[in-house]
Amino acid sequence: MVCSAAFAQSTSPYYHKFTNLQKNSWAPGYALLAPTWAICSSCSSTSSAVNWSRTRGVSSPALSGNATKHAIGGTHPYADILWNNHLVGDFSTQGLPDANHTLINNAHNFAYDVYFYANSLPSSQALEFDINQFLGSKNGKGYIWGHECRIAGGHEWDTWDNVHQKWVPTGVPCYPKNNAWNHLVIQAQRTSGGNLLFKSITLNGVTHTLNITRPPGTTRWNGVTINYQQDGNKMMTDYAIWLDKVNFTMW
């Protein structure tokens, strides 16, 4: 089964594997403030209410010798910081503008593979890892496979409901290790019927099969992107997460 899946990946005309994405210059970061969590266009990364930084080229802690540190803090309770990487489409960091939307429209399978490290993990309200496919030119459908590991928020995985714009608990526990590297692999699919399929979550070698199917949202944009987000707790306690060996595969 594993061999046939790998063969299907490598023979797909839409197969692409992107490696060490933590080394890219992701978007500068966006603050999302409670209670609405809409993107704050006036927020500054150096403000007192919410602040953040992203530092590339970190040699320790690191697995590859080139990790990236993501730090957040401030005074606004439950503020979040979102970073995203445009892989295919406009603003591609991979040299794949895909002007005809061939890759964007035809890829159906996705895997987000990432290592993360924390030395103050209990300070995190949640960590979020998202796979996004936007088919504005094809059918106006937007696919956000949002996966959130609640930590201070309750040690459980949630997945994103695109239509109702809310998080839905999965019942799957999420207990990443503090002062250690954690390995996360997320598998997702856009089904032949045009729905999102949340396939599985593997954390530190333990796989939980989800098989959750939901309808997509809407969009006018075209692209394939990934997100990484850190959520602050009630006290907005400063904390940092290091990402390394961030890989993404689509086919």
Report yes or no: 173 and 156 within 8 Å, Cβ to Cβ: yes
- Calpha distance 15→88 (Å, rounded): 12
Of the pLDDT bands very low, low, confident and very high (cuts 50, 70, 90), residue 8 is low
Of the pLDDT bands very low, low, confident and very high (cuts 50, 70, 90), residue 11 is confident
Instruction: Please tell me the CATH code under which domain 16-250 is placed.
Output: 2.60.120
Report yes or no: 104 and 135 within 8 Å, Cβ to Cβ: yes
Residue in 155, 170, 148, 147 with CA at minimum distance from that of residue 122: 155
What value does the mean pLDDT of the chain take? Answer: 96
- Enumerate the domain spans of the chain: 16-250
Q: What is the mean pLDDT of residues 124-147?
A: 98
Task: Give the pLDDT confidence score for residue 1 in this predicted structure.
Answer: 46
- Calpha distance 142→123 (Å, rounded): 32
pLDDT digit string (tens) for 144-181?
999 999 999 999 999 999 999 999 999 999 999 999 99
- Calpha distance 26→109 (Å, rounded): 22
Task: Give the pLDDT confidence score for residue 2 in this predicted structure.
Answer: 47
Task: Give the pLDDT confidence score for residue 9 in this predicted structure.
Answer: 73
